[in-house]
Amino acid sequence: GVKFYFNTEVVSIGSNNGKLYEVIDQNGKKWAADIFISNADAASFRGQILGRKKFSEEKLDKMHWTLAPFTIYLGVKGKVKNLEHHNYFLGNNFKGYADTIFTSSIAPQKPYYYVNVLSKSDNTCAPEGCENIFILCPVPDLRYKKDWSDKEDLAKTIIDDLSKRTDFDLSSNTIVKKVLAPDDWANMLNLYKGSGLGLAHDIDQVGAFRPKNKDEHFSNLYYVGASTTPGTGLPMVVISSRLVTERIINDSTLP
Ligand SMILES: Cc1cc2nc3c(=O)[nH]c(=O)nc-3n(C[C@H](O)[C@H](O)[C@H](O)COP(=O)(O)OP(=O)(O)OC[C@H]3O[C@@H](n4cnc5c(N)ncnc54)[C@H](O)[C@@H]3O)c2cc1C
């Protein structure tokens, strides 16, 4: 069986003779094992926890990271007729927007965003006569915009825009609301600078060029997840777990 320990962050390690013998959590508790698999970001873990120069903050910042998500979760009273399950709200200059939005130091003034209304397809997701609405807006990550104390302003801009486009007053019908900016995502999941999907799939960051799922120095340390092979996104990270399992079995001396 598997036992989960929540709220336990690995902050350092103990090693000896090319092997890891323990990881140490934020309370100083030591966790020993024969084999370790890190599901933390495979690039930033190497830099921040293992202190590898190749993955220093300066080097990590130069890598290509996927979008930082700005997300809004709404529970709304009433049915929003002008929304489908999947909805995109884009302006008329997609290329110009996409070229500048990720490296801007300010939040988008006229945001392009995606809206998912799960209650359109599954009525168990919201009380009768209500909707649950998820809004995702790609924004600059923490390399470019560090301070997100203005997140409620961007949330208001998006909610007002969506209200206008759907002809439904979302603000006054909102029962629950949660807004998560890139710094929230970074803190919650240790996502490097708030990058939602980890390392991007640029040609120099895939295959043999991607951080490997077996550590370069510690023979009993493996990696799984978005920033190791094969890549990011849910289908890929599931494949990643299969690949690392196969790798450990192949490395194993057990019969
Ligand atoms: C808002 C958003 C929307 C997305 N939408 C989609 C989508 O529609 N389709 C899709 O395919 N993908 C989507 N993704 C991406 C997808 O969720 C990720 O690629 C995938 O979850 C990554 O899985 P993972 O196991 O690598 O990392 P995670 O799911 O982030 O799991 C890593 C775990 O390790 C923990 N951890 C990190 N560091 C440490 C540490 N030092 N010590 C202990 N624990 C640690 C974290 O807390 C976390 O629980 C989305 C991501 C976001 C943020």
Domain boundaries defined on the chain:
10-63+202-251, 68-189
Residue 189 CA to ligand 1 center (angstroms) comes to 7
Interval 142-162: pLDDT, tens: 999 999 999 999 999 999 999
Terminal-to-terminal C-alpha distance of the chain:
21
Q: Nearest C-alpha to atom 25 of ligand 1 is from which residue?
A: 225
- The answer for residues whose C-beta is within 8 angstroms of residue 180's C-beta and 6 or more apart is 69, 70, 71, 72, 73, 188
Using CA atoms, how far apart are residues 215 and 18, in angstroms rounded to an integer?
10
CATH topology for 10-63+202-251?
FAD/NAD(P)-binding domain (3.50.50)
- The answer for residues whose C-beta is within 8 angstroms of residue 201's C-beta and 6 or more apart is 231, 232
pLDDT reported for residue 81: 95
Out of 115, 192, 197, 242, mutate this one to test ligand 1's pocket (max ligand atoms within 8 Å of CB): namely: 197
Average pLDDT, the chain: 96
Residue 254 has pLDDT above 90, yes or no: no
Residue 114 has pLDDT above 70, yes or no: yes
Q: Taking residues 123-131, report their average pLDDT.
A: 96
Q: Nearest C-alpha to atom 21 of ligand 1 is from which residue?
A: 234
- Closest CA relative to residue 226, chosen from 189, 180, 253, 252: 189
ipTM (interface predicted TM): 0.98
Residue 107's alpha-carbon distances to 147, 149, 151, 170, in angstroms, are 10, 11, 8, 21
Out of 10, 37, 39, 227, mutate this one to test ligand 1's pocket (max ligand atoms within 8 Å of CB): namely: 39
Which of 9-23, 92-106, 146-160 shows the lowest per-residue confidence on average (mean pLDDT)?
92-106
Residue 200 has pLDDT above 90, yes or no: yes
Strand pairing class (68-77; 86-89): unpaired
The pLDDT-based confidence of 100 (bands split at 50, 70, 90) is confident
Residue 39 has pLDDT above 70, yes or no: yes
